[in-house]
Amino acid sequence: MLRREKKLERELAELRIKKLIEMSEKIKFEDYDLSRRYIILARKIAMKYRVKIPKELRNFCKKCFYPYRHDRIRVRIKKSRVIITCLNCGNVKRVPIRNRR
Amino acid sequence: MKIVYVDFVRFTPTETDLFEGYDLIVPFNNDANSDIKGYLVKASNTSELQKKLKKAKGFVGVMSEDLKVNREAVMRRKVCVILDFEGRKIDYTTIKMAKDKDVIIEVSLSKFLRVKGLKRAKLLDETRLLLKLLLKFKTPFILTTGAENQLEVRPRKQLYRFFYFLSKDGGIDCVELIKLAKENSNRIFRKLVDKKYIMDGIEILDV
Amino acid sequence: MKGLPPTLRKKRRYIAFKIIPEKKTKITTRQIYNEIQQTIQSLYGEWYGCVGLKLEVFYEENSEGILRCSRDKVDATLAALTLITEVENTKVAIKTLGISGTIKGCKRFLNGKEINTER
Amino acid sequence: MLKLKIKLGSPAMVITDEWIGMEVEVVESSNPCEIGIKGVVVDETMRTLRIKTDRGVKVVEKKGRAFKVKYGRWLLKVRGDLIAFRPEDRIKKGIMLIKKSKLAKIDV
């Protein structure tokens, strides 16, 4: 029986996710839908090989997968947290700002 | 593209004019000292095969009488060719599996030279059935002389003509057979010799 | 009486071949003819066995010759030639050099020597 | 179990890598109009590639075609049958294909 090379698969998956999200970032002002498609592809890869999408690359809406674009989101700071509202679907993401001790 | 012809033999070849029309002769002889050679594994049962395969490397060919050994050999990743001789037994499932695992099945001419009479008649019939199955599943196969000494070698044209006639007489699609045999021979040649041929379907055009 | 029209005549093919023996033994015309005849007999039997065989010429010094057969059985004859392994206890291999429609055309496959056939 | 050492950047790994963003040219196809389509891959599905050319976006099927691809420092010719999987499946299935193929030169 042939065995899967899971380590190699994950390594490749990480590379591909990075590539895809960077690409979607690049074209998000020209073709918004295509850049969403790239993110979906990247997410599919991440789910299949159980790889986390790195935090710094995770700037897209969790619900509709459109990447955050300054004219399609609203960012407010309220009650010591950043509130990002996606104007495509209305999903709200709250990121608490904690004081470092 | 130019068609190249590959031949498998079982001895260390020296120059003869019988070797006409072949571009590459692969000796399946572990003592041969040419650059390109096959690694011959002879086994009579499966455990022996597994033991011998551990040492094997390169272009591995398995030669065995036993049906079980042949079936086991097809499933092994190391094995590239199932070599042919007069006592080889191979069946429907093995051929079907060989397609899946990309194992080449050799169909040799020299087995007909070694036997005579009723045995040869049976062998001819068996070979026709084998060719039919090979075509049905599109299993990779190669037509070779499979010679064990100099005098069993036949020139390429004669070899292909023989199998052409054999298949035509048996009601097999002879044109397709020869076409596929040439394709496979081409593939094997490029795999063995060409450094730019990485695997089936991928090749380097330029650096 | 006119002969048969060309369409109905027997079509023939001539096969130039060369015998490569194991040792330097001379093979006579008779021996090789018998061997070919026997091989065809045993391979195809009585039903298909008649291929219009005739050994036109055979040069014993360089063991080359020309064989005649009917056109639609060229493949059968060639297959029989490839399957010959022995002539009178000496191991041989037969290499077919070429096929042609005439003896004259067939001669160019032979060793390049000017050989005249008187018949 | 014998372990295969597949180098990450070796040319055989094209079939596992991301094709979106690659420069591609269709070399072989049963459809003569498709031969010569050249451009950057924009999108990929299980059976097709969307190639952005000078004359707009073209959709080319993967199966039965051969593509010329620039990959790393190589210019490769890849048969489309090898990449005819879902883009996310290609990592797993591509590695399997490479492992399965006999005498593949993977350590270039």
pLDDT tens digit sequence for C48-103: 878 888 888 888 888 888 999 998 888 889 988 888 888 888 888 888 888 999 88
| The pLDDT of residue B133 is above 50 | yes
Tokens matching residue C65: 């010759």
For residues C77 and C67, the answer to whether their CB atoms sit within 8 Å is yes
Taking the Cβ of residue D3 and every Cβ of chain B, the question of whether any pair is shorter than 8 Å is answered with no
Say if A26 is an interface residue toward chain D (CB within 8 Å). Answer: no
Whether B20 has its CB under 8 Å from any CB of chain C: the answer is yes
C115 touches chain B (CB under 8 A): no
* C6 falls within a domain: no
- Tell whether D18 is covered by a domain: yes
Domain-located, residue A17: yes
- What confidence score (pLDDT) does residue D41 get? 92
Nearest residue to D44 (alpha-carbon basis) of D80, D79, D13: D80
Q: Indicate if the pLDDT at residue B76 is higher than 90.
A: no
What is the CATH classification number for the domain harbouring A65?
1.20.5.420
Specify the number of domains making up chain A.
1
Whole-number pLDDT of residue D4: 61
List residues bridging with B106 in a β-sheet: B142
Rounded distance, CA C109 to CA C12, Å?
Answer: 17
State residue B86's pLDDT score: 84
Domains of chain B (ranges; CATH) run 6-203 (3.20.20.140)
Residue A1 belongs to a domain: no
Question: What range defines the domain where residue D70 resides?
Answer: 11-87
Lowest-pLDDT range, B25-29, B103-107, B171-175, D102-106?
D102-106
CB under 8 A, 24+ apart: contacts of A66-70:
A66/A32, A66/A35, A66/A36, A66/A39, A67/A24, A67/A25, A67/A28, A67/A32, A67/A35, A67/A36, A67/A39, A69/A28, A69/A29, A69/A32
CA distance A45 to C82: 59
- Specify the number of domains making up chain C: 1
Question: Is C63 a domain residue?
Answer: yes
DSSP string, B34-94: SSS-EEEEE-SSHHHHHHHHHH--SEEEEE-S-HHHHHHHHH-SSEEEE---TT----HHH
B92: left (phi over 0), alpha (psi -120 to 50) or beta: alpha
| Local confidence band at D1 (pLDDT 50, 70, 90 cut-offs) | very low
Residue D101, in any domain of the structure: no
The answer to whether residue C2 is domain-embedded is no
Question: Do the domain assignments include residue C34?
Answer: yes
Q: How many CB atoms lie within 10 A of CB B172?
A: 20
Over the stretch C1-44, which tens digit does the pLDDT of each residue have? 778 888 888 888 999 988 888 877 778 888 888 888 888 888 88
Looking at residue C82, which CATH number applies to its domain? 3.30.70.3250
Q: Would you call C69 helix, strand, or coil by DSSP?
A: strand
Which whole number is the average pLDDT over D79-84? 90
B and C make contact (3+ CB pairs below 8 Å): yes
Q: Is the pLDDT of residue B160 over 70?
A: yes
Cβ–Cβ contact D64 with B under 8 A: no
Does the beta-carbon distance from D15 to B192 stay under 8 Å? Answer: no
Nearest to C65 by CA among C106, C22, C101: C106
ipTM exceeding cut-off 0.85 for this assembly: no
A38 occurs within a structural domain: yes
Residue B152's pLDDT is 84
Per-residue pLDDT, C112 = 52
pLDDT value at D71 more than 90: no
- The tokens describing A72, both together, are 């399609």
Is residue D106 in some structural domain? no
3-state secondary structure of D32: coil
Domain holding C44, by residue range, is 12-107
Q: Residue C115: pLDDT above 60?
A: no
Q: Residue A14: inside a domain, yes or no?
A: yes
> End-to-end distance of chain A based on CA atoms, in angstroms?
54
The answer, yes or no, to whether residue D27 has pLDDT greater than 80, is: yes
User: For residues A17 and D87, is the Cβ–Cβ distance under 8 A?
Assistant: no
Q: What mean pLDDT is predicted for residues D5-14?
A: 78
Q: In the structure encoding, which two tokens stand for residue A2, read together?
A: 């042939």
Asked whether at least 3 C-beta pairs link C and D within 8 Å, the reply is no
The pLDDT assigned to A49 comes to: 92
Classify residue A101: in a domain, yes or no. Answer: no
Residues of chain B found within 8 Å of residue D65, distances taken between Cβ atoms: none
If one counts the domains in chain D, the total is 1
Count CA atoms closer than 13 A to A18's CA, side-chain side: 8
Cα distances from B124 to residues B130, B162, B167, C49, C77, in angstroms, run: 10, 11, 10, 17, 16
CATH of the domain at D24: 2.30.30.210
Residue closest to D87 by CA, chosen among D56, D49, D51? D49
Q: Are D63 and D81 in contact (CB under 8 A)?
A: yes
Asked whether residue D73 is domain-assigned, the answer is yes
Is the predicted pLDDT of residue C118 greater than 50, yes or no?
A: no
The answer to whether the CB atoms of B207 and D98 lie below 8 A apart is: no
Question: Which tokens sit at B52?
Answer: 């011998």
Q: How many CB pairs under 8 A join A and D?
A: 55
**Interface contact C88, partner B, CB < 8 A:** no
Regions of chain A where pLDDT drops below 50:
none
Average pLDDT of every residue of chain B: 86
**B112-130 tens-digit pLDDT:** 888 888 898 899 899 999 9
- How many alpha carbons lie under 13 Å from residue A97 in its C-beta half-sphere? 9
Query: Using CB atoms, which residue from C22, C83, C95 is nearest to B113?
Result: C83
D63 part of a folded domain: yes
pLDDT of residue B64 exceeding 90, the answer is no
* Residue D105 included in any domain: no
pLDDT at B172 over 80: yes
> Is A23 part of any domain?
yes
d(CA B174, CA B165) in angstroms, rounded, equals: 8
C15 in contact with chain B, both atoms CB, cutoff 8 A: no
Q: Name, in order, each residue with C-beta under 8 angstroms of C24's C-beta and a sequence gap of 6 or more.
A: none
Structural domain that includes position A37: 6-96
Q: What is the pLDDT of residue A39?
A: 92
Chains C vs A: touching, with 3+ CB pairs under 8 Å? no
- pLDDT category, C119, cuts 50, 70, 90? very low
| Residue D17 maps to a domain | yes
Closest C-alpha to B163, from B5, B36, B2: B5
Does residue B2 surpass a pLDDT of 90? no
Of residues B35 and B114, more confidence is placed in B114
* Average pLDDT of span B159-185: 89
Eight-class DSSP state of C115: -
**For the residues C95-117, what does the mean pLDDT come to?**
76
